[in-house]
């Protein structure tokens, strides 16, 4: 199930091919979309992209963890984590492409 990784450069090239903007304008567009999503998440807002999924920041409280090597208990500080939940449309699309393979 190993596949390729999609990079910013590949996204920029796809925008260039599909939309017809110049390569520089395509790169700026991709960067501005990524920056807007990042800024919204940093502010604690949820980002929903229709037919794709939603991104949210979840707070995790302090807890006690264990060092697997020594077994010693270690406090894990509170933190914020990024979570992604795929839409039903995306899940269906992925499963349909799997069935065709």
List, for residues 15-69, the tens digit of each pLDDT value. 999 998 999 999 999 999 999 999 999 999 999 999 999 999 999 999 999 999 9
Q: Taking 80 as the threshold, does the pLDDT of residue 96 lie above it? A: yes
Cβ(27)–Cβ(63) below 8 Å = no
CA distance 44 to 82: 10
Q: Are 53 and 90 in contact (CB under 8 A)?
A: yes
Whether this model's pTM surpasses 0.95: no
CB 80 within 8 A of CB 57: yes
95 — alpha (psi -120 to 50), left (phi > 0) or beta?
A: alpha
User: Radius of gyration (Cα) for the chain, nearest Å?
Assistant: 19
């Amino acid at each position: 199930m190993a596949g390729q990784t999609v990079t910013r450069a590949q996204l920029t090239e796809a925008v260039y091919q599909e939309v017809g903007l110049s390569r520089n304008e395509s790169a700026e567009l991709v960067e501005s979309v990524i920056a807007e999503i990042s800024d919204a998440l940093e502010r604690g807002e949820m980002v929903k992209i229709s037919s794709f999924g939603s991104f949210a920041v979840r707070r995790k409280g302090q807890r006690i963890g264990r060092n697997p090597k020594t077994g010693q208990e270690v406090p894990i500080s509170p933190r914020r984590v990024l979570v992604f939940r795929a839409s039903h449309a995306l899940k269906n699309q992925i499963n349909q492409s799997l069935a065709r393979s």
